[in-house]
Amino acid sequence: MSDLFFLGNDTSYLKIPNANGFDFGTGDFTIEWYQYQTDNNPFPRIFRVGTHPTATIGVSIEPGITEENVPVGKFYYWAFDDTLRRSNLTPSSYKNKWVHFAICRASGVTKVYMNGTSIFSMVDITNYNGAADLIIGNESTQSDDTAFGGYIKYFTWVKGVALRTANFTVPTGYPTIPTDMSNNYVLLLTASSFTGTLGSTVVNYNVSTTLTGPSNPPNLRMLTPLFTNNAQVYYKPGSLAPGGVGSVRNSSIKARRT
């Protein structure tokens, strides 16, 4: 089984260029993904639009130590002006295993879910807009310290709809997108099973798509890869950048650095 594998250094990340319709504004949205984090970096970014301390939106899951000298992981949800919310996680709950996360805003309230259970919620009327690219696995100013290392699957970015509004059972297959979304934008990084107009090129920087990922627990079976060597970005018809084929710039096993 192929997985999208990040090396955990400043040369390994995925960039999706910004385009019209990419920003959430003040409306509802959904971001969700599966991850298998293996790095020991101090500030790993799962994804980021922009760079600290002025990122538009992003998530990092960072290691730390409590005053009682107990290891702890902190889930950071970043917004404009370095505003953030955090939730403490035990390292054993998210390191070296498949975990599903979802961030959903519905009617001015944002909730973050881990494996289908809300870990925190907040009033959120932030106007998410800007011209920065979406970076998965680092931020726009790349460094080893901010690199995510491990595996990511089924990264989904939806403008206009909160797909999760209460605790839910984590899906074991492709993300489910409502069929009537004529006024919304959808970005799906998956191997197949979606149709639509293809948009901007995804730039693959030293991200492997041919390594075999870790074994998955029965309740989180990954039946297909996030990317193949002919990976594409699937958009809702009429959304984002019109026309063109969104393909990874690939050279045999690994992508060329461009």
pLDDT number for residue 149: 94
Quick check: bond before 237 cis, omega within 30?
no
Output the tens digit of pLDDT for each of the chain's 258 residues: 345 789 999 999 988 877 766 788 999 999 999 899 999 999 999 999 888 777 788 999 888 766 566 667 888 888 775 566 778 888 888 898 889 999 999 999 999 999 999 998 988 888 888 788 889 999 888 999 999 999 888 888 888 889 999 999 988 766 667 666 666 777 777 654 444 444 556 777 888 765 566 765 545 544 444 444 334 444 444 333 333 333 333 222 233 232
What distance lies between CA 249 and its chain's CA centroid? Answer: 20
pLDDT number for residue 2: 42
Inter-residue contact 248 to 190 (CB < 8 Å) = no
Q: Rounded to whole angstroms, how far apart are CA atoms 102 and 125? A: 18
pLDDT number for residue 207: 81
- Strand, helix or coil at 218? helix
Any idea what the CATH number is for the domain that residue 72 is in? 2.60.120.200
* Beta pairing partners, 152: 4, 35
Residue with tokens 């090129």: 201
pTM over 0.85: no
Please choose, from the candidates 225, 207, 196, 176, the residue with its C-alpha nearest in 3D space to the C-alpha of residue 16.
207
Q: Could you tell me the residue range of the domain that residue 103 belongs to?
A: 4-255
Q: Rounded to whole angstroms, how far apart are CA atoms 32 and 112? A: 9
- Strand, helix or coil at 159? strand
CB within 8 A of 69, min separation 6: which ones? none
Q: DSSP secondary-structure letter at 214? A: P
Q: Rounded to whole angstroms, how far apart are CA atoms 203 and 83? A: 29
Could you tell me the end-to-end alpha-carbon distance of the chain, in angstroms, rounded to an integer? 27
pLDDT number for residue 172: 74
pLDDT number for residue 55: 78
CA atoms within 13 A on the CB side of 85: 12
Q: Rounded to whole angstroms, how far apart are CA atoms 33 and 4? A: 12
Inter-residue contact 37 to 43 (CB < 8 Å) = no
Q: Rounded to whole angstroms, how far apart are CA atoms 100 and 113? A: 8
Residue with tokens 């953030």: 84
**Segment holding 94, helix H or strand E:** helix 91-94
pLDDT number for residue 205: 84
Count: domains in the chain: 1
